Amino acid sequence: MGQGLSCGASQENGLFSAVKVGDFETVEALLKREPSLLHHTTVYDRHSALHIAAANGQIEILAMLLDKSMNPDAVNRNKQILMFDSLHGRTCLHYAAYYGHFDCLQAILSAAQSSPVAVSWWVGDHSRLLDLLCSGYARFVNIRDARGATPLHLAARQRRPECVHILLDNGALVCASTGGYGCPGSTPLHLAARGGSLDCIRKLLAWGADRLQRDATGRIPYIVALKYKHGACAALLNPSSAEPLVWPAPLKFISELNDEAKLLLEQALMDANREREKNILKGTAYSLLSPSPSHSDSGLDDSISEVSDAELCCICFEQICTIEVQDCGHQMCAQCTLALCCHNKPNPTTASVTPPVCPFCRSTIVRLAVAKIKDCDGDVGEDGSSPKVRRRRKSRNFSEGSSSFKSLSAVGSFNKMGRIAAENEWIDKP
């Protein structure tokens, strides 16, 4: 791999080629015979085996390399994960994000999270060493390449919504500006607008991306989308359109949610923002691009079973209680819970956020969990759904009630030699 690859380095060449094509057995045999190959890089662009595995989506080989990098100690592991190539100044995390291999991306983040990243470094660029010595996992997620692009910038530009979601969920800075990548000063939202990815834009907006933030030329993402003729993206980015609900990441109990509760609230956020998007695109040529909600009310009353009023949310009288407030034990639906947390857009400059209170007893919410639900036969479930379809109840009080709850309900490739291709991004001008 690489134009400057030495002909004498046959084992090294064999390792890189085997990693590229996903030959697990050959990679395992070569590393067993010569373990030091794990720390070798190509001559020309300093790509390690981890770089190549991440860029090609070879998850099994990547997992093996990460596991072997743990030995003989965690120091070597950090050196491998944090190694920059010389072509773009990128780590394996950058390449996984750029090429959209979200499984590799997650594996690298998990490996980095399990050990103190950037405690030590290979002998090399001391300015970069000083930049990372006092950092940890959060700094690693937001590590920049030679042109000032973080993995989130690359994922947004390359239309990789799954990678965008994973990076945001792991602490990627949604409003970080680039150096020389794309147009200087571009945020991930600028780059998603340029690439025309509605899914990336939805996720970035839902994590608090600022539609009014300007790049170095003074353009907001809306103007970028218009320039590249991405009409649907421009409609969502138009500053005059309704603000989306934003995931309340600054709240401590949100960061401590278990997977089930988090999934319920994320789905509620997506559904609410779909309604907002549908209203924005209604009557335009892009209305068909807006995804349909995951649930529909059509035909519900024809094949539904009666359930106890106690199982319906006492705020909206429409949804099933799926979220429980701890330690008071009061229950609400995911939509109303989200409305409590997302009533105001989080301020990124605020160090601490005052948590909301339970609407029933006014105690501060310290923890959320999935509510236990009883069906008509007395069975209990914890997955937020009932074995029987529930009758949706309409409430006149709800339609005339709090505006916050009303708004919620309405609303690459490698070249022949195996070297990572740049895909003309060095001449990617605005």
CATH code, domain carrying 6: 1.25.40.20
- Checking if the pLDDT of 327 tops 50, the result is yes
Question: What integer pLDDT is reported at residue 175 of this predicted model?
Answer: 94
119 and 175 Cβ atoms separated by less than 8 Å: no
In terms of average pLDDT, the best of 74-78, 108-112, 401-405 is 108-112
pLDDT-based confidence at residue 402 (cuts at 50, 70, 90): very low
Half-sphere exposure of 383 (CA within 13 A, CB side): 5
Residues 222 and 269 in one domain: no
**Residue 312 in tokens:** 């319906």
Measured distance CA(164)–CA(173) in Å, rounded: 11
Domain final residue pick, 144, 164, 199: 144
Q: Is residue 350 part of a domain?
A: no
**Residue 123 in tokens:** 């002998």
Give the containing element (helix H, strand E) for 15.
Answer: helix 10-21
Residues 80 and 127 in one domain: yes
Residues 316 and 394 in one domain: yes
Q: What DSSP designation does 381 have?
A: E
- Orientation of helix 188-195 relative to helix 198-206, angle to 10°: 160
Residues 259 and 219 in one domain: no
Residues 134 and 166 in one domain: no
Residues 384 and 256 in one domain: yes
Least confident of 153-167, 221-235, 334-348: 334-348
Residues 97 and 200 in one domain: no
**pTM of the shown model:** 0.77
19 to 26, 46, 101: CA distances (angstroms): 9, 15, 15
pLDDT tens, residue by residue, 34-51: 988 888 888 888 899 999
Q: Is residue 47 part of a domain?
A: yes
Q: What DSSP designation does 291 have?
A: P
Residue 282, φ and ψ in degrees, nearest 5: -60, 130
Residues 108 and 44 in one domain: yes
Residues 325 and 376 in one domain: yes
**Residue 97 in tokens:** 């994000």
Mean pLDDT of 167-177: 94
Residues 258 and 368 in one domain: yes
Domain containing residue 98: 1-144
Question: What integer pLDDT is reported at residue 113 of this predicted model?
Answer: 79
Measured distance CA(237)–CA(212) in Å, rounded: 9
Check which CATH number belongs to the domain holding 392 and give it: 3.30.40.10
383 and 267 Cβ atoms separated by less than 8 Å: no
- Checking if the pLDDT of 398 tops 50, the result is no
Q: Is residue 387 part of a domain?
A: yes
Least confident of 232-246, 375-389, 397-411: 397-411
User: What's the CA angle centered on 90, arms 1 and 157, to 5 degrees?
Assistant: 110
Measured distance CA(13)–CA(161) in Å, rounded: 34
Q: Helix (H, G, I), strand (E, B), or coil: what is residue 6?
A: coil
Question: What integer pLDDT is reported at residue 391 of this predicted model?
Answer: 40
* Burial group, residue 128, by CB count within 10 angstroms (0-12, 13-18, 19+): middle
* Number of domain units in the chain: 3
pLDDT-based confidence at residue 10 (cuts at 50, 70, 90): low
Tokens 């209170």 sit at which residue? 357
104 and 57 Cβ atoms separated by less than 8 Å: yes
Mean pLDDT of 155-179: 95
Question: What integer pLDDT is reported at residue 3 of this predicted model?
Answer: 34
pLDDT-based confidence at residue 115 (cuts at 50, 70, 90): low
Domain final residue pick, 110, 144, 178: 144
Domain final residue pick, 119, 144, 169: 144
Q: Is residue 367 part of a domain?
A: yes
Question: What integer pLDDT is reported at residue 287 of this predicted model?
Answer: 67
Residues 157 and 236 in one domain: yes
Q: Is residue 201 part of a domain?
A: yes
The chain-wide mean pLDDT, for the chain, equals 77
Mean pLDDT of 219-239: 96
pLDDT-based confidence at residue 255 (cuts at 50, 70, 90): confident
Radius of gyration from C-alpha coordinates of the chain: 25
Residue 287, sorted as left (phi over 0), alpha (psi -120 to 50) or beta, turns out to be alpha
C-alpha dihedral, 86 to 90 to 91 to 96, nearest 10°: -130
- Orientation of helix 198-206 relative to helix 259-281, angle to 10°: 120
Measured distance CA(54)–CA(420) in Å, rounded: 11
Q: Is residue 321 part of a domain?
A: yes
Q: Is residue 166 part of a domain?
A: yes
Q: Is residue 213 part of a domain?
A: yes
Residues 256 and 237 in one domain: no
Question: What integer pLDDT is reported at residue 388 of this predicted model?
Answer: 40
pLDDT tens, residue by residue, 271-308: 999 888 988 888 777 765 655 554 444 443 443 344 45
Least confident of 87-101, 118-132, 224-238: 118-132
Measured distance CA(239)–CA(7) in Å, rounded: 57
